[in-house]
Every structure is written in C-alpha cells, then in structure tokens.
Amino acid sequence: MTQTSAPTIATRNIGAASRKKKRDAAIYYLMGLPAALLFSIFYFVPFIANLRYSLTRWDRITDPEFVGMKNFVNLLTNDDLFFKVLGNNLRFTFLVVLFQTVFSLFFAILLVRNTKFNILLRTLYFFPTILSSVSVGMIWLYIYDPNYGALNLFFNRVGLEAFALNWLGSETSALYAIAFTQVWFHTGQMIVIYIAGLQQIPQELYEAAEMDGATRWQQFKNVTWPMSIPTTVVVMAYTTIQSFRAFDLIFSMTQGGPNNASSIFAVMIYQTVFNELRIGYAAAQSIFFVLVLVLITLLQRKVLGSGKER
Amino acid sequence: MNAKAFKALIAMAFAISATVVPISQSFAAGESLGKSCPTEGVMTGTKTTSLICVKGSNGKQTWQRVKLSAGGGRPVASLTPPKGEIEFWHYRPEVLDQKALVEIIANFEARYPGTKIKQVVKDTTTFNATARVQILNNPKAALFATSRGFVFDTFAKSDMMVDLSSQRYVKQNAIAKAMFAGVYEGKQLGVPYQYLFNNPIVNTDLWAKEKWTTPKNLTGWVAWCKDAKAKGYIPFAWPGATLGQAAQISNSALMNSASSYAELEKNLLDLNSGKTDLTTSWFKGVASIYVKLRDAGCFPENPTGVTQNAAYTMFATEKSPLLPIGTFAMGDIVALNKKLDGKMQLMSMILTDGPVVAEGIMNNTYILSVNKNSSSRDQKIANAFISYLMTGPVGQIYANTSLQHVNVLDVEYTNVNLLTTSSFQAKNTMLAPRFLLVNGSVSDLTQQALIAIVGGKSPDDVLPDFSKQIKQKLAA
Amino acid sequence: MIYRSTRIFALTLFAILIIAPSFIVTVGSFKTTSEVYTKPLSLPENWTLDNYRYLFEVSNVARPFVNSTVVTLSSVIITLILASMCAYAISRMITVTGKILFILFTVGLAIPGQVNIVPIFILFNDFNLTNKLSGLVLINVVTTLPISIFILTAFFKELPKEMFEVSQVDGASPWRTYRSIALPLSRPALGATSIFLFVITWNELLFPLLLITDSEKRTLPLTLLSFRGEFFSNDSMIFTALMVASIPMVLMYLFMQKSFISGLTAGAVKG
C-alpha cells in the first residue's frame, strides 16, 4: 500500500510546491507593484515626455510648435551659456568631490578612535548636514558679504586685506565660494561614513606595518588608502549626486550670478522655464543634463571600479 | 419752500462753492486760478481742485483747472458688489502693504456682508515666475495685480484680462497719464494703482549738514561724489547684487540719454526686438555715464557684492547720503532707523551735461485687472473692489499706511514721508523707461552689462559680450 | 610631534568654522537688522525678542511649520511602506522581475528627479496637483523611493536564509513572512532610513518651489526663501526664521545623535 501511495504523495507535494511557488511569485509581484507603478508614472513617463517636449518650441501661452532637432542644434552651436554652465557644473562637481573626499578622509583618520573627545567633534562636524540648504545659503550669503560679512571683517582685522574678496559678487570667485560652502555643508556626513569604513580595517595590518618600521605616511599609503577604496567609492558617488542638488544653495545665494558664473544645470533649466518661458528648450537642456550625469557615473565606475573587487 | 427743497438748495450751493473755491488746498503764493505762472506743465497737486500751468492761445501762461482724469468731472462712488467670494492675487507681501490691504478688505467686507475677498500673496520673484499659469487655471482668482513691463505684457498676451475702458471710475477717478501702463493694444486691461517714483532718495539732514545742493548735471554729480567720498561717505548706497534694485538707477541714466522721449523709446524698442544691440553709440553713451560715476567713487566698495539689505543698511545708518532706489524703499528704511522718518526727500538725478528731457522718473505699476475667465458674478465683485480702491478715502488708507503714492484723485497724504516727496508729482517726470524692455532676457542682460561695468569692467569688453548673449537668447 | 600639532590645528580650525557661523546666526536672531550689519561679531546690545514675536504673531510662521510637518510625516511613512514591501519582494524574488525592478530604481538613484522638473511641472499643473500638500507628498515619495529601496534591499538581502526557510516549510505566504519575521527584524534599518528621509524631505526646496505658490501651503524652506523677497529687507528676521525652522531638527539631533548619524549614513556602509 505505502509503496503506491508514496509516489502519489510526492507528486501531490511537487504539484503543491509549484502551485505555492506561483502563488508566492504573484504575492511578491503585488508587493513590489505599488512602488514600481508610482515610480513609472511619475518618473519614467515624465522622462519620456521630456523627450517629446524637447522637440518643440513652447511658451505655455500659445500652442506648442514642432521644431524637430532645432533646440539641440542650437544648444550645441549657438549657445555660449550652455557650455559655460556645463563647464561650471563639471568644475563645481569635480572640486566638491575632490575636496570633500580628501577632507573627510583626513578628518576621519584624525578621529577614528572612539574617544569621548573624538565623538564630540564628530557630532559637531556633522551638525550642518541637518540644516536646510536655504538656511545654509542664507548664513553664508551673510558671511560672504564683502563689506559687512564676518569673513572679510576677519581678514581686514588681521591685516590680510588682500584676502577680503568680493566673494559672491565677482565672476571669478562666486563658484568657488559656493563650492566651499557645499564642502562645509556635507564633509561632516562623509567623515562618519569614512570612520565606519576605517574602523573595519584590521588592526593587525597596522601593527605589522609598524613592526616593519613604516612611517605614518607609509602606513597610510599601504594600508589605509587601499582598504578604504570601497568607502571612497560610496563617498564619491554620494557627493556627486549631492553636488548636483546644490541648486538649493545656489538659488538662495546668487541665483546663478554674477553673469551666470555660478549657474549649474538645474539653475539654468529652472531659469529657462520661469524667466524665459521656453519649455521646449528647457526640456532639451534636461536631456543633456541626463547625459552628463550618466557620463559622470560611468567615469567614476571606470576610475574606481565598483569597489567590490578588493 | 419746504424743508427738502431747502436742503437741496444748500447742498447745491455748497457744491458750487466747493468747485469754485478751493477748500482744503494749500497753494503757494500766487498759485490761484487765472494768475500767471512761470513754468509750463507744473501742477500743484492731484486733487480735482488742483491747478496746472497752461500756455493759452494768446501765449500767456496761467494757472488753469487741471484736468487730471480722462473724463473730467468729479470722481464716482464705488460700485456695489454681489455676494460671493473671490481671490485677489498679487505680489506685495511687504508688511505695510499688508497692513493697508487687510484693513481695506475688512472695511469692504463689513460694508458688503456676504462678499469676501481672499488675498493670495507671493513675493515678486515667485509671482512673476508662476502666477500667470496658476491664475489661468483658477477662475476663483477674479482679481489680480501685475507689475508694469514684462509681467503685465505676458499676462495680456494670454488674453486673461477684462477690458475696463468703459468703466466710469477709469475715466473719472484716476490720473489719466498714469493709466497708460495698463493699456495693451488700445484696451485698458488693468488699472495701475501705485504711483512710484524710482528716483534716488536722500537723507535731508545729511545734505543740510554738509551743505550740499542738488547737482544739476553729470559733471555736478561727479564732483559731488568725489566730495562725499572725501568726507568719508559712501555716495550711492547701490545694491549691485540684487538685479531688480541695481536697475533702478538705470532709469535716471536713460532718462536724459536721448534728445527726446520719442527717440529714447525708439532706441529701447529696437534694443528689445534685437534690431540693435548694446554697441550702438547711444548705449555706449549710457555706459559711459556709469564709467564716469564709477571712477568718481560714487559706488560702494565691492559694488557687485552689495545686497539690497546691505545697501539699505548703509543708508539707514547714515553711512550713505543717497539711496538710488525709490519711494517704495522709505517704509523699510524707517523700520531700520526711526530717526529717518520725515527726513527723506526725492532728488532729481540728471546725468547728462546736455539738454534735459526730464527731471525725474515715475512709474505706474501694481496694475489691477479682472480675470476674463472668472464667472460673471466674480468679475462683478472684482470690478467693484477696484472701484472701491479707486475712491479718495480708500486710496488714502492705502497710501498713508503703505507709504506709497496712488493713482487716485483726491487723496490726502498725511504721512510725513509721502508729503515731503509728493512735490515730485509736480515735476517734469518721465514714465520709467527701462520697462520698455519687455523681453525678460534682454532687460536682465542689459542690466547685467551695466552692473559688470560698475564692477570695474570696461565697456569695450562688456558691451560686445552681452550683445552676443542677447543675440543668442533672441535667436533660440 | 608634527602629527600631533597638525591634528590639533586642523581640528580646531574646522571646529571654529562650524561654531562661528552658528554663533553669528544664533546671536543675530536677537539683534535688530542694523546691528546685524554694523556689529556682526559681537553680542547684541539689547537682547530683543521682537523678531521672534513678530515671526509668530504677524508672519504666521506656524502655518508653514504645520505644512512641513504634515508633508514630511506623510511622505516618510508612505515611502517606508511602499519601499519596504518592494525591497522585500526584490530581495526574495528569484525571477528576472526582481532584477528588472532593482535596475529600475538604480536608474532613479543615478539620475535624480531634478532632470524631470519640466514635465513634472507641466503634469502637475495639468492635473491640478499644484498648491496641494498631497501633490508634494506624491513627488517626495517618488524621488525618495530609489534610495530607500536601495538601502532596504541591501538590508533584507543580508538577513540569514535560515529564518525564511523555517517559514517556508510552515507553508507561510511571503506576506506572512514579511509581516511576522522580516519587518520586526528590520526595525533598525527602517528607523535609520526614516531619519534619512525625514531630513531630506523636511529640507527639500526644489519641488516645493516649483509646485507651491499659495503662501498658505508653503513649507518652511520656501518661507525662509520668501523672507528674502526682492523688496523686503530684514536680515535679523531671516536669522530668526532660520533658527525657528531649524529648531526641530536641531533638538532631535541633540537628543538622538546616534540614530541621526547612523540614519543619514545608512546604506553607505555595509555591515
């Protein structure tokens, strides 16, 4: 009896198992559906719509006019502002990523041990991150004031008048001044990320290096740096995306001025929509924005690898 | 004669005497009806009883009844609104404006129970960027205000404003010459309510203390700047970092840059359409004015970094004797330093050594319009409220509370700052020319070019560069 | 020796760079505007609460406060619910669908929602979603889904397989497993993610700027920005507004430092 029933139970179990698998798959599907649906409708559909708008000339008052590739051609051949902003954005992102990474790694190394003092400082340095960028922008707008701001007051008082520049009013310094503010804003956050990464480096490696007579610098070069590359990948990727969100900061400080010296993609697109009423053109600019982002992401991947190899 | 008829007779007598004999008008000596007057065109005020100096057909100049309104005759009473609620969209969140409007709306709602008006206020930048589309999609926004120039023009193009040309209050209650700012393609699409003077304001105490007199021409201004700077002042409290405010002084620079208003208008319209650029000899002339003023030390240190707040502070703390902004700054200045209440005066800034076309600048803005897409009932409410605002007593509340002049006849200015500056209404003023650049990009880039020049750049570098930028913006 | 002194120097310099601006602003909120400009670095002559009084009485700062709170809480809760369900599904799915979903959201991570301001602006206007707090919540959820799903998927993937095998044998549905096993375990990750989302959403400027023009519906950052309207000059008020806008964050930060720090760096560090 058992010999004939065992295969039946087995087949029934297999049948039941595959039915359950199908049911499970359906439930997983349903669980992921709301998020996926929402995201598709409000992210990807607009994305495609953007492509459509970029082929038109439209001011939202009159009807849209189909112009084909004219916007793109114009952007590439007859628009100095576009290249200026592209250059600004690349320079801004590069500087912010470079300095924020270097500084946060530097301070992380200084504060890697979990002493009370170190933790206190980490908490202090982290503080700006929780403020809104509008707040940070207003604070630094005030500090950078060339005649009344704390920065120039300080320089003048200690005899360094040559350093008391027209920070946000001069085309040469505006972008860099804002970049400094951005680094000030988020370095504390990156310090914490680095510390978590550094604390995972086994002590034995350092001990071995010390026994070999390595100096601090050599220890850094041979142990710390290689072992923190995965963290560096994360820090750089995060900082890059963050630097493109500097729209908030720039908007509250200089609105992209003077003479678009501090304008980045998001600022330019915003102004094209609201100050110039050129929807189609702004859509074309957005497409280039996407291309630049993709390029930068790919570039970072290539230079640093995905960080998982080590 | 029965009591009713007697009362009517007294009223009529009173009315007649009121028109013939000015009651509450304080004229300077010699300014009375029929007497001869020195300067043609000068007015004694904006009352229906005011006088204007007119050259008669016999060549003699005498004071005549001024006909300020388009229709002549007395201002009309306000219209009665139907019951309902509408939204009033505008761009003046400033404290004093709000104080005035809140009071006026409360009075209006109390007088007409069942009619409500809800304010929807945004700051200028946000309003200019987003309000038009919002209002287009919102029929409840039956009443809205726009600023002269780019914004009014854009709204007008959208065909969203009711033609008010036939309204009686338009013809009888307003100063006719101030109504042009609300005309589009021959139709009165809005009523400009504010009467602004975008001239520099000066600290009368400081000027008296230093025994300065109003410079009469460009050479005079250059000399004054040098003197003020030598005495340790910042001559012009000029906010180079805030474009809208940095641009105010350009009105004074433009005002006498051409030999007539017609020529100036043509130059600006050509610039706006792209027919000419910033390298014309006319504009080079305008740029050279800025160069002269810059080299004389008129502007603050690091001028392109001076924000509006910093500039106001310079003026309010008396570091600077002159604020090249306009009457609408007075309220904020008094808030910063009560000492300056009543100590501010408008000053002509004639920036040419040649013939003078105008002495000062005025602007008519805050143009009130009725939404064409609103229901007929809501439109009636909006129209009634405008007519209410256009009556003397209400205009008075607005003017004296918000510290601004209004385009309404028979307003009694009681605030000391408005009184000291209202004499400017009698001067030979020109409608602010820079708003003729209705294309936003052209206007902004032109101003940025001038700001860059103040910052130290040479016009030879700046003008061709910005001309190219304008060209690219117009081409796209 | 060089290391020691460099360390102290660098740490002090950075500390000053953080403390000085904070001090200036805090103290500035108690000054009058002219003092803010003429004596920025010193203590106020007369500590005045006028600015604070004005802010609460006349400017009605309570309204934006309420708006920010409503929008932020709603956005965070909805995002957490949707993201954790989706992340769980992705981490457990064996079919290709799971991978596709993940790639979908990775794209959203690499290319931030900013690139869509033009179509979103038009879309929201056409569907009358502007000037509605619900519209803000919607776009906030959409823009924060990628990072949330990223963090939570990583977390769920690291849960030991044994736990799930137990419930598999029991014949429990994925939903059951999710609710009774995965969710309780993921409290720390959810907590960290929620703080992360809270800060980002509370401080968000771009989309409110785009979509909200009714002063009644403004969030705090927008209100701050409006204090610097073209014809309004009052820096000491700006500092006061700034202080008030930042206080909830600052207080929460001071009392929950550890959670904040781990929350805002979540997903960046594995294990």
More confident residue, A220 or B83: B83
> What is the pLDDT confidence band of residue B251, given thresholds at 50, 70 and 90?
very high
Residues in chain B closer than 8 A to A60 (CB atoms): 133
Q: Higher confidence at residue B40 or residue B293?
A: B293
Cα–Cα distance for residue pair B407/B295, rounded to 1 Å: 39
Shared domain for C16 and C66, answered yes or no, is no
Give chain A's end-to-end CA distance (angstroms, integer): 59
Point out which residues pair with B236 in neighbouring strands: B322
**What is the C-alpha separation between B325 and B315, in angstroms, rounded?**
11
Phi, psi angle pair for A161, to nearest 5°: -55, -30
Tokens of B314: 């310079």
Residues B387 and B457 in one domain: no
CB-CB neighbors (< 8 A) of C249 in chain A: 130-131
Mean pLDDT is lowest, of A12-16, B343-347, B399-403, C226-230, for: C226-230
pLDDT tens track for B372-397 = 999 999 999 999 999 999 998 999 99
User: Per the domain annotation, does B20 fall within a domain?
Assistant: no
Considering CB atoms only, which of C58, C213, C233 is closest to B332?
Answer: C233
pLDDT mean over C103-114: 86
Helix (H) or strand (E) holding B244: helix B243-246
Closest CA to C205 of A253, B415, A230: A253
pLDDT of residue B342: 85
d(CA A53, CA A65): 10
Do C22 and C124 fall into the same domain? no
Rounded mean pLDDT, B17-30: 40
* Mutate which: A147, A279, A281, vs B, most B CBs within 10 A: A147
pLDDT given for residue C215 in this prediction: 72
Residue A58 has pLDDT above 60, yes or no: yes
A65 forms beta bridges with A57
Question: What DSSP line would sit under A42-90, residue for residue?
Answer: IIIHHHHHHHHHTTEE--SSS--EE-TTHHHHHHHHS-HHHHHHHHHHH
pLDDT for C2 beyond 90: no
Query: Quick one: pLDDT at residue C80?
Result: 94
Q: Is the pLDDT of residue A304 over 80?
A: no
Q: What span, in angstroms and rounded, lies between the C-alpha atoms of A266 and C114?
A: 7
DSSP SS3 for C101: helix
B20 has pLDDT over 60: no
Model pTM score: 0.81
Number of residues written out for chain C: 271
Task: Choose among C141, C85, C102, C77: nearest CA to A38.
Answer: C141
Quick one: DSSP state of residue A40?
I
What is the H or E stretch that residue B384 is in?
helix B376-389
More confident call, C248 vs C85? C85
Q: What is the pLDDT of residue A51?
A: 92
Instruction: Give contacts of B 274-333 with C, CB under 8 A.
Output: 308-310, 312-313, 316-317, 328-329, 332
3-state helix, strand, coil in chain A (%, to 5): 75, 0, 25
Residue B53 shares a structural domain with residue B90: no
Q: Are C129 and C244 part of one and the same domain?
A: yes
Provide, rounded to the nearest whole percent, the portion of chain B with pLDDT above 70: 87
| Better pLDDT: B167 or A245 | B167
Pair (B281, B314) in one structural domain = yes
What pLDDT is attached to residue B234?
A: 95
Distance CA A294, CA A168 (A): 30
Contacts of A29 in chain C (CB under 8 A): 89, 97
The answer to whether the beta carbons of residues C56 and C65 sit under 8 Å apart is no
- Whether residue B21 lies inside any domain: the answer is no
> Has residue C208 got a pLDDT over 60?
yes
DSSP for A222-236 reads: IIIHHHTHHHHHHHH
B305, B454: one domain:
yes
How far is A22 from A40, CA to CA, in rounded Å?
Answer: 25
Question: Can you give the pLDDT at residue B466?
Answer: 95
Pairwise CA distance, residues C166 & C188, whole Å: 23
Interchain CB distance below 8 Å, C121 and A43: no
Establish if B313 belongs to a structural domain.
Answer: yes
Bond prior to C146 in cis (omega within 30° of 0): no
Bigger pLDDT: B333 vs B57: B333
Chain A contact partners (≥3 CB pairs within 8 A): B, C
Which residues is B429 bridged to in the sheet? B360
- Of B395, B423, B451, the position where a domain reaches its end is B423
Min Cα–Cα distance to chain A from C174, Å: 6
Whether residue B447 sits in one domain with residue B331: yes
Q: Are A30 and A36 in contact (CB under 8 A)?
A: no
Residues C12 and C130 in one domain: no
Q: Are residues C96 and C220 in the same domain?
A: yes
How many angstroms separate the CA atoms of B283 and B136, rounded?
A: 38
Q: Which two tokens stand for residue A108?
A: 């992380």
The whole-chain average pLDDT of chain B stands at: 85
CATH number assigned to the domain comprising residue B452:
3.40.190.10
Fill in the DSSP letter of residue B43. Answer: B
Residues 6+ apart with CB under 8 A from C153: C87, C90, C91, C102
In this structure, are B237 and B340 located in the same domain?
A: yes
Region at B247 (left for phi over 0; alpha for psi -120 to 50; beta for the rest):
alpha
Give the residue ranges of DSSP H helices in B256-280: 261-273
Q: SS3 of B85, please?
A: strand
In terms of domains, do C81 and C41 share one? no
* pLDDT tens digit sequence for B176-227: 778 888 999 999 999 999 988 888 999 999 999 999 999 999 999 999 999 9
Which of B23, B40, B66 lies at the terminal end of a domain, its last residue?
B66
Name chain C contacts of B123, Cβ cutoff 8 Å.
226, 229-230, 232
Three-state secondary structure call for residue B113:
coil
The whole-number pLDDT of residue C250 equals: 82
Nearest to C33 among B130, B134, B336 (CB): B336
**C38 shares its domain with C69:** no
Residue, of B15 and B46, whose pLDDT is higher: B46
pLDDT band of residue A9 (cuts 50, 70, 90) is: low
B344 φ, ψ to 5°? Answer: -120, 145
Residues B211 and B327 in one domain: yes
Mean pLDDT of B239-251: 91
- CB-nearest to A259 from B129, B448, B476 is B448
Chains A & B: contacts with CB separation below 8 Å:
80
Is B370 found in the same domain as B261? no
Q: How many CB atoms lie within 10 A of CB B201?
A: 26
Asked whether residue B19 carries a pLDDT value surpassing 50, the answer given is no
Beta bridge partners of A41: none
Report whether pLDDT(C268) > 70.
no
User: How many CA atoms lie less than 13 Å away from A252 in the CB half-sphere?
Assistant: 31
Q: Which domain holds residue C243?
A: 61-264
d(CA B341, CA B351): 28
Name the residue with higher pLDDT: B277 or A216: B277
**Are A189 and C92 inside 8 Å of each other by CB?**
no
pLDDT value of residue A40? 92
Domain count, chain B: 3
Q: Are residues B368 and B266 in the same domain?
A: no
Q: What's the DSSP call for residue B77? A: P
Flag whether residue B245 sits within 8 Å of chain C, measured between CB atoms.
yes
pLDDT bucket at B3, cuts 50 / 70 / 90: low
Q: Give the E-state strand segments of B248-399 in sequence order.
A: 322-323, 344-346, 360-370
3-state secondary structure of B53: strand
Residues B443 and B419 in one domain: no
Asked if the structure places residue C55 within a domain, the reply is no
pLDDT at A173: 93
Residue B187 bridge partners (DSSP)? B184
CA distances to B34, B42, C267 from B38, rounded to whole Å, are 13, 9, 82
Q: What pLDDT digit, counting tens, does each position of B95-134 carry? A: 788 889 999 999 999 999 999 999 988 777 778 877 888 8
Largest CA distance in chain C: 75
CA–chain centroid gap for B387, Å, is 20
Q: Between residues C230 and B405, which one has the greater pLDDT?
A: B405
Terminal-residue alpha carbon distance, chain C:
35
Split at pLDDT 50, 70, 90, the class of C223 is confident
DSSP state of A201: S
Is the pLDDT assigned to residue B8 strictly greater than 60? no
Q: What is the mean pLDDT of residues B168-180?
A: 85
B273–C contact, CB cutoff 8 A = no
Residue C155 or B163, more confident:
B163
Output the CA–CA distances (angstroms, integers) from residue B267 to B283, B413, B423, B442, B467, in the order listed.
9, 37, 30, 13, 15
Q: Which residue of chain A comes nearest to B450, CA vs CA?
A: A259
CATH number, domain with residue C254 = 1.10.3720.10
Q: What is the pLDDT of residues B48-71, one digit of tens each?
A: 667 776 767 677 777 766 666 777
Rounded to two decimals, the ipTM of the complex is 0.82
- The pairing of beta strand B84-90 with beta strand B143-146: parallel
Instruction: Look at residue B68 in the predicted model and tell me its pLDDT.
Output: 67
- Alpha-carbon gap, residue A97 to A135, rounded angstroms: 22
Tokens of B383: 């129209």
Question: C194 and C138, same structural domain?
Answer: yes
Residue A26: CB atoms within 10 A of its CB come to 12
CA distances from A193 to A80, A196, A198, A234, C267 (A): 39, 5, 9, 9, 10
Contact flag C93-A184 (C-beta cutoff 8 Å): no
Helix (H, G, I), strand (E, B) or coil at B183: strand
Residue B299 near residue B238, CB atoms below 8 Å: yes
Give the count of domains, chain C: 2
Spatial CA neighbour of A243 closest among A213, A271, A267:
A267
Do residues B366 and B223 share a domain?
Answer: no
- State how far the Cα of B69 lies from the Cα of C259, in Å rounded to an integer: 69
Q: Is the pLDDT of residue A149 over 50?
A: yes
B308–chain C nearest CA distance, Å: 7
Say if residue B434's pLDDT is above 80.
yes
Bigger pLDDT: B28 or B385? B385
| Residues A198, A109 contacting (CB under 8 angstroms) | yes
* Pairwise CA distance, residues A29 & B406, whole Å: 66
| Neighbors of chain B by Cβ distance (3+ pairs < 8 Å) | A, C
> Residue B198's beta-bridge partner residues?
none
Q: Domain range spanning residue B98?
A: 84-195+362-423
Boundary residue ending a domain (B423, B450, B467): B423
* Position C257 in a domain: yes
C69 and C123 in one domain?
yes
C71 and C12 within one domain = no
Look at B317 and C34 and tell me if their CB atoms are within 8 Å. yes
Residues B225 and B329 in one domain: yes
Contact C115, A44 (CB under 8 A): no
The mean of the pLDDT values for chain A is: 86
Q: Return left, alpha or beta for C61; rule: phi > 0 is left, psi -120 to 50 is alpha, else beta.
A: alpha
Residues of chain A numbered 97-136 and touching chain C (CB < 8 Å): 106-107, 110-111, 121-135
Residues C112 and C231 in one domain: yes
Helix (H, G, I), strand (E, B) or coil at A149: coil
Q: What average pLDDT score do residues A56-82 get?
A: 88
Domain contains C271: no
pLDDT at position C18 = 94
The pLDDT of residue A306 is: 53
